[in-house]
Amino acid sequence: MKFGIDRLLAEQDLLAALVARRVALVAHPASVTEDLTHSLDALIGAGVNVTSAFGPQHGLKGDKQDNMVETADELDPLHNIPVFSLYGEVRRPTPAMMDSADVFLFDLQDLGCRIYTFVTTLLYLLEEAAKAGKEVWVLDRPNPAGRPVEGTTLLPGQESFVGAGPMPMRHGLTMGEMGHWFIRQFALDVEYRVVSMQGWQPDAAPGFGWPESRIWINPSPNAASINMARAYAGTVMLEGTTLSEGRGTTRPLEVLFGAPDVDARAVLAEMHRLAPAWLAGCAIRECWFTPTFHKHSGQLCSALMIHAEGRFYDHAAFRPWRLQALAFKAIRRLYPDYPIWRDFPYEYEFDRLAIDVINGGPSLREWVDDAAATPRDLDALAAGDEQAWQAEIADLLLY
């Protein structure tokens, strides 16, 4: 199969549309061709007049480890073009940045989750391109989590850099498809083109979204595997808690939690008692780790590891958002006074709890903290949103 960048480089009619035009590239470390050449080098090598590049959160080099760690603008030392940061002094391109090119190629590998900030970066680029009369092309890449949709819809007024619009946590779209939804949702008048993939089969085993013929490269420092990409729509919620998401270990965001003062085995037993069906589609394994940095640094943590991989993975049955919510619920039942929710600035939102920013509203937190609320209650809350989203995007699917 071929990703969008591979088709662009291989098809002369696509390259011809860029002749005599100034081109900008939005990229990160996973922006590579099928032979692992970085897209910036490949485009310039093919004779494309690349006049600027843009790096999203974590930077063009992907060297920034944590949230709210900013990247400065720089000059590319090899190609002598400006590299503008979209996670530094600004989050959206300025007019001066937009003046640097005529066509903007967006080539970011996504994880299929609303909170992954590359989704919002695409929206901001489309909005600024509409204002400046510029053209945007998405060089499409797979959604490694596939087509499943999960989670409650972001509520009006809850928008943020991790909440671009009213979509559920796990959106089921590629970035090319997401661009079409943004244009319709926000009535954007922008010249837009998707260089679609060739041969992507999102429902095909064994990859279910990620083709096994392609190497996985971290699109951000803690997105180290397909297992992480599948689990992320659930485990990302740990960022809004005092529980460790595994940062400071070799398997970040692949655990349901880690903490020095929580009995993981007891939590798993309580999860099985509360909603055994929500643990389907993966294996959950008790483990231990001592983070070298971040939460609980230097402390031995009891933890639960997710294995949404190999023979344990059932693509249709795995529901990471519900799985993570269930872990929170079990901890709350076993430790009623445990300070689960972390109160700190999250992605530059200072007036809301991080867990609410992450979920696009307070409903999940309120469900966890309500002793009378049952798994059936959360399921009912999310199911309607999920069905509505699937109906809304049905006509946008390109594959």
Own/partner pairs, 202-211, CB within 8 angstroms, 24+ separation: 202/142, 202/143, 202/146, 202/147, 202/399, 203/146, 203/147, 203/315, 205/315, 208/146, 208/313, 208/315, 209/112, 209/142, 209/143, 209/144, 209/145, 209/146, 209/147, 210/142, 210/144, 211/1, 211/142
Phi, psi of 98 (to 5 degrees): -65, -25
* pLDDT tens, residue by residue, 111-163: 999 999 999 999 999 999 999 999 999 999 999 999 999 999 999 999 999 99
**234 and 215 in a common domain:** no
Instruction: Identify the CA nearest to 152 among candidates 326, 386, 375, 317.
Output: 386
Res. 239: pLDDT tops 70: yes
Within a domain: 67: yes
Q: Are residues 288 and 183 in the same domain?
A: no
Does one domain contain both 202 and 253? no
Token pair, residue 197, equals 């993939």
Say what the pLDDT of residue 146 is: 97
Q: Are residues 246 and 289 in the same domain?
A: yes
Q: What's the average model confidence in pLDDT over 5-12? A: 98
Q: What is the 3-state secondary structure (H, E, C) of 338-395?
A: CCCECCCCECCECCCCHHHHHHCCCHHHHHHHCCCCCHHHHHHHHHHHHHHHHHHHHH
pLDDT of 62 over the 70 cut: no
Q: Same domain, yes or no, for 272 and 198?
A: no
**Is 383 a domain residue?**
no
Least confident of 66-70, 97-101, 194-198, 368-372: 66-70
Q: CATH number, domain at 290? A: 3.90.1150.140
Integer Cα distance of 145 and 281 in angstroms:
13
pLDDT class for 64, splitting at 50, 70, 90?
low
Q: What angle is formed at CA 155 by the lines to CA 150 and CA 156, rounded to 5 degrees?
A: 145
Tell me if 157 is assigned to some domain.
yes
Give tens-digit pLDDT for 171-209.
999 999 999 999 999 999 999 999 999 999 999 999 999
Residues 97 and 242 in one domain: no
pLDDT, residue 347, reads 86
306 exposure class (CB count in 10 Å sphere: 0-12, 13-18, 19+): buried
Tell me, yes or no, whether 67 and 172 share the same domain: yes
Q: Residue 380 falls within a domain, yes or no?
A: no
pLDDT of 37 over the 70 cut: yes
CATH of the domain at 94: 3.40.50.12170
Q: What is the pLDDT of residues 301-344, one digit of tens each?
A: 999 999 999 999 999 999 999 999 999 999 999 999 999 999 99
Separation between Cα atoms, residue 43 and residue 332, nearest integer Å = 52
In a domain? residue 385 = no
Q: What is the mean pLDDT of the chain?
A: 96
| Same domain? 242 vs 284 | yes
- 68 pLDDT more than 90: no
Residue 361 confidence class, pLDDT cut points 50, 70, 90: very high
In which residue are the tokens 């992480």 written? 228
Range of the domain at 15: 4-220+392-396
Place of tokens 């609303």: 114
Q: Are residues 287 and 360 in the same domain?
A: yes
pLDDT of residue 150: 98
CA–CA dist 342, 272 (Å, integer): 26
Residue 342 lies in a domain: yes
- Shared-domain flag, residues 47 and 184: yes
pTM of the model: 0.96
Residues 231 and 205 reside in one and the same domain: no
- What is the rounded CA–CA span in Å between residue 290 and residue 42? 41
Local structure of 287: helix, strand or coil: strand
At 349, the pLDDT band (50, 70, 90 cuts) reads confident
CA–CA gap between residue 160 and residue 140 (Å, rounded): 24
Strand (E) positions, the chain?
A: 23-26, 50-55, 74-75, 82-85, 103-106, 135-139, 191-195, 255-259, 283-289, 301-307
Banded model confidence at residue 59, pLDDT cuts 50, 70, 90: confident
In a shared domain, residues 62 and 91: yes
Assign 348 a pLDDT band (cuts: 50, 70, 90). confident
Give the residue-averaged pLDDT of 48-68.
82
Within a domain: residue 202? yes
Type of residue at 259: A
**244-279 residue pLDDT tens:** 999 999 999 999 999 999 999 999 999 999 999 999
SS3 102: coil
* Residue 387 forms part of a structural domain: no
Confidence of residue 66 (pLDDT cuts 50, 70, 90): low
Q: How confident is the model at residue 13 (pLDDT cuts 50, 70, 90)?
A: very high
- Can you spell out the DSSP letters for 247-281? TTSSSTT-EEEEETTS-HHHHHHHHHHH-GGGGTT
Say yes or no to pLDDT of 228 above 90. yes
pLDDT score for 72:
84
> pLDDT band for position 67 (50/70/90)?
low
259, 66, 253, 170 alpha-carbon torsion, rounded to 10°: 130
Domains of the chain: total: 2
Cα separation of the two ends of the chain: 13
Tokens of 38: 């970085």
Quote the percentage of the chain above a pLDDT of 90: 94
